[in-house]
């Protein structure tokens, strides 16, 4: 299945449910404070494939729930959490490109990004409270807490070239995969699915999220990234320590490691473009980029295995198709 058809299969499974999500998002983004819908709308309505909300909707369907009212509200909640995280990420990373548009931060400034992010977090909690299930509230609440911890951990490992694979995995599990996991889990919870199914969907989301972030970290050093409308080498310039770099520290020569230390730890770039090109060359020598994608495939296989206890149906097929979709972004 190619990339676009995987996404289309997922969209056709959830049908009109996605419109309910979009309506909930627009309604709840509103505020008499004009800057809020302006800035939040820039991110939320302008784009994104709504991947996380789609997971919630499809998970609920796979668990047999026909009425999409609850999962749609929870899907909107998940998208708000995700968008709030992006807004706060823009502040902290000073990234100038987000989804190919100028970042909200560049357009409106740090102040607005922090505060509108806070507003979206608060509204996401209102969605949870409206849902009213303490189980659901617990899952989503826990996810936001783990995300925040992951973001701080990422900040601490930035520029630290002694970062281990374990620490890196902890960061991506927390900052990215925890929300994928919760998005899927609350779909099952909204459907009143048995606990084994909740857990299976949590595992699916967690492994999918890890695969997704591994591919993201691969893409940052890949020519493919430019085709997707994003700059190459952001992580390198920010001194983020991701798997393609960590693997070089396990395999490279002293001279190669000293070079990376200068760029990533000391942030001393003589010629940033040339330094980036040399870093990519070293990664190619040890195939650390290829290995990052291989690991993404491993986690993809675990995500697939997590769904094995569900009977075959279009929603399950679509959720399996989306694993390939996430990994095939690499090509």
Interacting residue ranges for its own copies, rule: CB under 8 A: 31-36, 88, 91-92, 110-112, 114-116, 118-119, 121-123, 125-126, 129, 132, 134, 137-138, 141-142, 144-145, 147-149, 151-153, 155-156
Shortest separation between residue 83's beta carbon and its own copies, angstroms: 13
Shortest separation between residue 117's beta carbon and its own copies, angstroms: 8
The answer to whether residues 215 and 316 touch, using CB atoms and an 8 Å cutoff, is no
Query: Which residue lies nearer to its own copies by CB, 147 or 186?
Result: 147
Query: Which residue lies nearer to its own copies by CB, 144 or 225?
Result: 144
Shortest separation between residue 111's beta carbon and its own copies, angstroms: 4
C-alpha closest to that of 146 among 114, 180, 101: 180
C-alpha closest to that of 217 among 245, 248, 242, 246: 242
Query: Which residue lies nearer to its own copies by CB, 143 or 318?
Result: 143
Query: Which residue lies nearer to its own copies by CB, 141 or 269?
Result: 141
Query: Which residue lies nearer to its own copies by CB, 129 or 284?
Result: 129
Q: What is the C-alpha to C-alpha distance for residues 298 and 280, in angstroms, rounded to an integer?
A: 23
Shortest separation between residue 211's beta carbon and its own copies, angstroms: 24
Shortest separation between residue 157's beta carbon and its own copies, angstroms: 10
Shortest separation between residue 93's beta carbon and its own copies, angstroms: 8
Query: Which residue lies nearer to its own copies by CB, 132 or 311?
Result: 132
């Amino acid at each position: 299945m190619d990339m676009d058809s995987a996404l289309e299969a997922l969209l056709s499974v959830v049908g009109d449910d996605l419109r309910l999500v979009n309506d909930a998002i627009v309604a709840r983004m509103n505020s008499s404070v004009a800057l809020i819908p302006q800035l939040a709308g820039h991110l939320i309505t302008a784009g994104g494939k709504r991947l996380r909300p789609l997971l919630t909707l499809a998970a609920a369907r796979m668990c047999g729930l026909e009425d999409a009212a609850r999962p749609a509200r929870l899907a909107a909640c998940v998208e708000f959490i995700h968008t709030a995280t992006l807004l706060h990420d823009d502040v902290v990373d000073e990234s100038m490109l987000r989804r190919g548009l100028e970042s909200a931060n560049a357009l409106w400034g740090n102040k607005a990004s922090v505060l509108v992010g806070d507003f979206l977090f608060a509204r996401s909690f209102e969605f949870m409270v409206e849902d009213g299930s303490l189980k659901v509230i617990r899952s989503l609440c826990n996810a936001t807490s783990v995300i925040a911890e992951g973001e701080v951990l990422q900040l601490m490992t930035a520029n630290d070239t002694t970062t281990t694979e374990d620490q890196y995995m902890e960061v991506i599990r927390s900052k990215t995969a925890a929300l994928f996991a919760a998005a899927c889990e609350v779909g099952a919870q909204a459907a009143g699915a048995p606990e084994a199914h909740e857990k299976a969907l949590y595992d699916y989301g967690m492994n999918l999220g890890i695969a997704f972030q591994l591919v993201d970290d691969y893409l940052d050093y890949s020519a493919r990234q430019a085709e997707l409308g994003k700059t190459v080498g952001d992580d390198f310039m920010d001194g983020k320590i991701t798997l393609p770099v960590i693997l070089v520290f396990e395999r490279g020569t002293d001279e190669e490691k000293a070079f990376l230390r200068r760029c990533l730890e000391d942030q001393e770039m003589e010629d940033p473009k040339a330094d980036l090109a040399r870093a990519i060359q070293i990664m190619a020598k040890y195939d650390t980029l290829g290995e990052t994608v291989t690991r993404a495939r491993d986690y993809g296989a675990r995500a697939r295995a997590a769904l094995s206890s569900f009977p075959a149906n279009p929603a399950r097929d679509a959720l399996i198709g989306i694993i390939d979709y996430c990994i095939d972004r690499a090509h």
